[in-house]
């Protein structure tokens, strides 16, 4: 892996020794998202056209997902967090498809920086909505003093399951991006020009689907945490 070294366009602006590639490209993703938002804001219309239409399609799809799973009460509060994650991962993944740029999500640090706040947010909102009753989520279906061993066992199992969530979120996105990257590199050495292009087409599908899967899982975890015991 040491012999395969890529030169990227960012190397001209930012020194890769001081600021690693994933950080500088993550900043680039943020700048792109903010610029698109500002451009749309200047000429906003009631009946959308062009870029505004595209962004509204994405926003409405994620809004439907969030409201369907979390409900009306907390959906609107949690929606900005989830939609930002989706847009960041989508633009970040697609940036890796362009030669001369690298995907910020192909580095495990960026993904952990997104998965750990989701984990912390589930517990924060769980305690804020349910109070001390949040511990009922961990104790399993049977609630009686005679089932205390079962409740303790369920608590341990649920604890481990909850700890596995940020880990799997991180590794799923990281593994998909790095597998696509390594496959492209190896095939470019072995059989250039035509076969890597097919892998690039598969890479587009994987980029979009993995962004959606991360967002969907974050929504489901948050929905499980804030569900009211009606």
> Least distance in Å: CB of 217 to another protein?
9
Q: Which residues contact 111 (CB under 8 A, 6 or more apart)?
A: 105, 169, 170, 171, 173, 174
Q: For residue 3, state whether it binds another protein (rule: CB under 8 A).
A: no
User: If binding is defined by CB under 8 A, does position 174 make contact with another protein?
Assistant: yes
First-to-final CA distance of the chain: 55
| Residue in 127, 172, 187, 199 binding another protein, rule: CB under 8 A | 172
Q: CB of 135: closest distance to another protein in angstroms?
A: 28
210 binds another protein (CB under 8 A): yes
Q: Smaller CB distance to another protein: residue 139 or 216?
A: 216
181 part of the interface to another protein, by CB under 8 A: no
Give me 121's structure tokens. Answer: 């947010």
- By the rule CB under 8 A, 219 interacts with another protein: no
How is residue 29 written in tokens? 């993703």
What angle is formed at CA 114 by the lines to CA 59 and CA 10, rounded to 5 degrees? Answer: 90
Dist CA 139 CA 150 (whole Å): 8
With CB under 8 A as the contact rule, the residue among 139, 171, 185, 188 that binds another protein is 171
- Per-residue b or e along 149-165, where b marks 16 or more CB atoms closer than 10 Å to that residue's CB: eebeebeeeeeeebeeb
Binding site for another protein (CB under 8 A): 1, 168, 171-172, 174-176, 178-179, 209-210, 212-213, 216
């Amino acid at each position: 892996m040491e012999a395969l070294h890529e030169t990227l366009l960012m190397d001209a602006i930012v020194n890769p020794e001081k600021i690693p590639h994933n950080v500088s490209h993550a900043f680039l993703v943020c700048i792109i998202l903010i610029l698109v938002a500002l451009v749309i804001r200047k000429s906003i219309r009631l009946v959308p056209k062009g870029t505004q239409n595209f962004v509204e399609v994405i926003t409405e799809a994620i809004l439907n997902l969030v409201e369907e799973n979390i409900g009306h009460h907390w959906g609107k509060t949690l929606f900005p967090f989830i939609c930002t994650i989706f847009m960041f991962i989508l633009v970040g993944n697609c940036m890796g498809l362009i030669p001369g740029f690298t995907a910020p999500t192909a580095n495990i640090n960026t993904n952990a920086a997104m998965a750990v706040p989701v984990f912390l947010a589930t517990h924060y909102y769980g305690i804020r909505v349910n109070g001390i009753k949040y511990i009922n989520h961990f104790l399993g279906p049977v609630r009686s003093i005679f089932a205390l061993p079962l409740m303790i066992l369920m608590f341990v199992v649920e604890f481990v399951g909850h700890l596995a969530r940020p880990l799997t979120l991180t590794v799923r996105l990281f593994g998909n991006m790095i597998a696509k990257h390594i496959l492209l590199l190896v095939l470019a050495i072995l059989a250039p020009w035509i076969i890597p292009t097919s892998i690039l087409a598969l890479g587009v599908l994987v980029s979009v689907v993995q962004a959606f899967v991360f967002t969907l899982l974050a929504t489901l975890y948050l929905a499980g945490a804030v569900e009211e015991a009606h």
